[in-house]
């Protein structure tokens, strides 16, 4: 699972794409507060590139930018809120939300955390590093993730999975710089964002199959909430 938990199952692909679009629209809207031009707003540029890779319709993308920059008729203001706590069996969790109504989101999170434990601000954040997270895939056969990480200025990398996707970790301030440098090292950037990496991830082998299923079920319920953008969990693998 690594730093960020992801829902699994091919049957969820269609629903997942719709949910991805919803999350990207929120990210674009928030990023556009810093300016509607991706050329001068690196944060907006990164999420716009991700939206295009996900085949988001052009009018949806442009409408989201207008919402955030205040140039559209339906301007909206999202607030980023982090909820911290534990999934079942003391697995630390950080839940990142983008919401237009904290008074709605907060009680929903309290209900969702009943099978775990909702903590106060800072209760588990100390056990995570705030990092830049870049998912990239090799664009040529000789692409070397270790060499790419060194040359592009990444702090670390996690070897590619069966699909060849590698996670590059960066200092938060270097996210845009590294994402721009990776293509020259033979990698195509799939996504780039800020997130949280566990300092002491729990080995899933230390949990029984039943316990792991309980953790998965808890995380799936959290992820299904419309205000949730990302779920970061201290479970390795």
- What's the token pair of residue 17? 């794409």
Residue 180 lies in a domain: no
Domains held by the chain: number: 1
Say which CATH number the domain at 8 has.
1.10.10.200
Per residue in 101-131, pLDDT (tens digit) is: 999 999 999 999 999 999 999 999 999 999 9
The pTM of the full predicted model, rounded to 2 decimals, is: 0.82
Task: Identify the weakest region by mean pLDDT among 5-14, 46-55, 147-156, 186-195.
Answer: 5-14
Residue 92 lies in a domain: no
Residue 60 lies in a domain: yes
Residue 172 lies in a domain: no
Residue-number span of the structural domain to which 47 is assigned: 2-69
| Contact yes or no for 117/93 (Cβ under 8 A) | no
Residue 218 lies in a domain: no
Residue 14 lies in a domain: yes
Residue 190 lies in a domain: no
Residue 42 lies in a domain: yes
Read off the pLDDT band of 167 (50, 70, 90): very high
Per residue in 23-35, pLDDT (tens digit) is: 898 999 988 888 8
Question: CA of 35: how far to CAs of 71, 110, 194, 203, 224, in Å?
Answer: 10, 34, 19, 42, 30
């Amino acid at each position: 699972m690594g730093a960020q938990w992801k829902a699994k199952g091919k049957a969820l692909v269609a629903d997942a794409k719709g949910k991805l679009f919803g999350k990207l629209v929120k990210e674009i809207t928030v990023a556009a507060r810093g300016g509607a031009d991706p050329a001068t707003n690196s944060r907006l540029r990164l999420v716009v590139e991700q939206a295009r890779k996900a085949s988001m319709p052009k009018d949806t993308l442009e409408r989201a930018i207008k919402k955030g920059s205040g140039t559209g008729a339906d301007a909206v203001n999202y607030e980023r809120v982090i909820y911290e706590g534990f999934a079942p069996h003391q697995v630390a969790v950080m839940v990142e939300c983008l919401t237009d109504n904290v008074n709605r989101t907060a009680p929903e999170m309290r209900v969702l955390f009943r099978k775990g434990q909702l903590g106060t601000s800072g209760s588990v954040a100390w056990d995570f590093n705030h990092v830049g997270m870049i998912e990239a895939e090799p664009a040529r056969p000789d692409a070397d993730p270790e060499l790419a990480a060194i040359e592009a200025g990444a702090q670390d990398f996690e070897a590619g999975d069966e699909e060849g996707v590698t996670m590059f970790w960066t200092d938060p301030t270097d996210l845009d710089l590294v994402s721009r440098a990776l293509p020259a090292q033979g990698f195509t950037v799939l996504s780039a964002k800020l997130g949280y990496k566990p300092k002491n991830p729990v080995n899933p082998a230390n949990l029984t199959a039943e316990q792991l299923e309980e953790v998965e079920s808890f995380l799936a319920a959290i992820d299904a909430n419309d205000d949730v953008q990302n779920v970061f969990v201290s479970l390795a693998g």
